[in-house]
Structure 1
Amino acid sequence: MESNNSIVSGFDSDKDDSLKITLHKIPGVQNGCMVVLDGYIDTYNSSFFQKQLTKVIGAGYFNLLFNCGGLSYVSSTGLGSFTILLKMVKVKGGDIILSEVQEKVAEVFQILGFSQFFNLKDTTEEALEYLRHDEGSAPGPVFPKMLVCPSCGKNIQAAHAGRFRCTNCKAIITISEAGAITLG
Structure 2
Amino acid sequence: MANNDIVPGFDEEKDESLKIRLEKASGTEGCLILYLTGYIDTYNSNFFQKRVNRAVEAGFARLIFHCAGLNYVSSTGIGSFTAFLKAVKPKGGDLVLLEIQPKVYEVFQLLGFSQFFQIKDNLDDAVEHFTKNGKVQRSEVFPKIFKCPICSTKLKASKPGRFRCSNCKTILAIDAAGQVFLG
How far the C-alpha of 1:132 sits from its partner, in A, is: 2.5
Structure 1 pair 93–123 and aligned structure 2 pair: CA distance change class (3 A)? same
Q: Residues 128-143 of structure 1: matches in 2 within 5 Å?
A: 128-135=127-134, 139=137, 141-143=140-142
- Which ranges of structure 2 fall in alignment gaps of 5 or more residues? 146-155, 165-173, 179-183
How far the C-alpha of 1:178 sits from its partner, in A, is: 7.6
- Which ranges of structure 1 fall in alignment gaps of 5 or more residues? 146-157, 167-174, 180-184
Structure 1 pair 111–24 and aligned structure 2 pair: CA distance change class (3 A)? same
- In structure 2, how many angstroms separate the alpha carbons of the residues matched to 1:112 and 1:177? 23
Once superposed, what is the RMSD of the aligned Cα atoms? 2.7
Cross-structure match for 2:158: 160
How far the C-alpha of 1:125 sits from its partner, in A, is: 2.3
SS in 1 for 2:87: helix
Aligned letter for 1:12?
D
Moved over 2 A (4+): 129-135, 137-145, 158-166, 175-179
SS in 1 for 2:68: strand
Aligned letter for 1:139?
Q
1:68 and 2:67 equivalent? yes
Q: Residues 2-17 of structure 1: matches in 2 within 5 Å?
A: 2-17=1-16
CA deviation map 1:100-141 (0-9, x unaligned):
000000111111100111010112222122222224x77373
How far the C-alpha of 1:77 sits from its partner, in A, is: 0.3
Cross-structure match for 1:88: 87
Structure 1 pair 162–75 and aligned structure 2 pair: CA distance change class (3 A)? closer
How many positions carry a matched residue from both structures? 158
How far the C-alpha of 1:164 sits from its partner, in A, is: 5.6
Contact 2:34 2:65 in 1 (8 A): yes
Contact 2:35 2:66 in 1 (8 A): yes
SS in 2 for 1:120: strand
Which stretch of the first structure deviates more once superposed, 61-70 or 125-134? 125-134
- In structure 1, how many angstroms separate the alpha carbons of the residues matched to 2:125 and 2:111? 25
Aligned letter for 2:80?
S
Structure 1 pair 132–46 and aligned structure 2 pair: CA distance change class (3 A)? same
- In structure 1, how many angstroms separate the alpha carbons of the residues matched to 2:33 and 2:160? 36
Contact 2:136 2:177 in 1 (8 A): no
TM-score (norm 1): 0.77
**Matched residues, percent identical?**
51
Structure 1 pair 73–142 and aligned structure 2 pair: CA distance change class (3 A)? same
SS in 1 for 2:59: coil
Q: Residues 161-176 of structure 1: matches in 2 within 5 Å?
A: 161=159
How far the C-alpha of 1:59 sits from its partner, in A, is: 0.1
Cross-structure match for 2:153: none
- In structure 2, how many angstroms separate the alpha carbons of the residues matched to 1:38 and 1:58? 22
